[in-house]
């Protein structure tokens, strides 16, 4: 198994126009950052598996069907008969960012227990990927930490994307504690511009990475900077690549996950040892291109870009 991810699988209700009465219309898209990452990796030809929990309801059925359709192994997906599938409403703000409203008090993704982990599946992973939405509550937090231990003991690389969603935490201090735990476990960190500024208190990203490195030894750190592109920090190397801005961008949901998946794709092919500046440039350019394509579509998980689409965009940009 190339990549196993643990975390949230939920319904993203994304805005999709207005009704005749002037009410906003929402489309029920399958979502959740870990599965978005896996969907892109599956599109790139990798074997992927998801570990998490949904409700034994219509939305849970829809989500299981969706991840199976895109090639994700769903044998680690559990169904909760008592708690409904988690829902998120995604509002697009005028500045192009997003605002999230969650229906998760509780939601099924919070209910995963340690004894429900598919240990043999986790042990097969070359890379184990997780975020912090499975760290917000004690039960699923312990399940996440156990899964990380299993993966590390089996020799997997650990990939971490904080994916901070402030409304889901009792306090940002609680969030910071769990993000710091994740930093202490990972070999590959994908962190967004606003997250690294919040965590480190540094507005400059280089200074933010120095803050992280003073506390944790993480071989590869990626900073996604939205419309400003992305950076990779590896040993003493810093490589920045400009974004591919799309005139037809409609929303950014899934862009960071697509970017993260393409980085993991590169590491699966080339490893994490002795990466050159050229390697990092190639990796970031590919990831930026794929992320830009997904911004032109609604519902990231089901519509990840195909390798030939990414190649075409890169070829056209090189002309």
| Cβ atoms of residues 106 and 83 within 8 Å | yes
In the prediction, which pLDDT does 24 show? Answer: 85
Tell me which residues of the chain have a pLDDT lower than 70. Answer: 92-98, 319
Three-state secondary structure along 53-107? EEECCHHHHHHHHHHHHCCEEEEEEEEECCCCCCEEEEEECCCCCEEEEEECCCC
- Summarize pLDDT for 271-314 with one digit per residue, the tens: 999 999 999 999 999 999 999 999 988 878 999 999 999 999 99
User: pTM score > 0.75 for this model?
Assistant: yes
Provide the greatest CA pair distance for the chain. 59
Beta bridge partners of 94: none
Q: Are strands 87-92 and 98-103 parallel, antiparallel or unpaired?
A: antiparallel
C-beta neighbour count of 74 within 10 angstroms: 18
- Summarize pLDDT for 210-230 with one digit per residue, the tens: 999 999 999 999 999 988 999
């Amino acid at each position: 198994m190339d990549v196993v991810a643990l975390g949230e699988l939920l319904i993203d209700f994304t805005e999709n126009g207005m009704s005749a009465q002037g009410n906003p219309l929402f489309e029920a898209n399958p979502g959740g950052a870990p599965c978005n990452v896996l969907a892109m990796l599956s599109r790139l030809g990798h074997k992927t598996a998801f570990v998490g929990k949904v409700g034994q309801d219509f939305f849970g059925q829809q989500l299981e069907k969706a991840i199976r359709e895109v090639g994700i192994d769903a044998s680690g997906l559990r169904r909760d008969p008592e708690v409904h599938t988690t829902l998120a409403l995604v509002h697009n703000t005028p500045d192009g960012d997003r605002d999230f409203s969650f229906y998760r008090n509780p939601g099924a993704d919070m209910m995963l227990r340690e004894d429900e982990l598919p240990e043999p599946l986790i042990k097969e992973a070359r890379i184990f990927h997780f975020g912090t939405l499975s760290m917000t509550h004690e039960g699923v937090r312990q399940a996440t930490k156990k899964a990380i231990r299993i993966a590390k003991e089996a020799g997997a690389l650990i990939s971490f994307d904080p994916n901070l969603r402030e409304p889901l935490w009792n306090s940002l201090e609680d969030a910071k504690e769990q993000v710091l735990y994740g930093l202490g476990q990972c070999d590959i960190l994908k962190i967004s511009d606003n997250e690294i500024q919040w965590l480190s208190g540094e507005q400059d990203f280089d200074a933010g990475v120095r803050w992280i490195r003073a506390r944790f030894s993480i071989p590869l750190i990626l900073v996604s900077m939205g419309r400003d592109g992305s950076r990779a920090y590896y040993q003493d190397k810093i490589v920045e690549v400009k974004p591919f801005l799309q005139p037809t961008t409609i929303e950014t949901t899934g862009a960071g996950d697509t970017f993260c998946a393409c980085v993991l794709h590169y590491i699966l092919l080339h490893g994490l040892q002795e990466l050159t500046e050229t390697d990092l440039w190639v990796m970031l350019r590919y990831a930026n291109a794929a992320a830009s394509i997904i911004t032109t579509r609604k519902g990231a998980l089901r519509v990840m870009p195909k390798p030939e689409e990414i190649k075409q965009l890169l070829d056209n940009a090189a002309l």
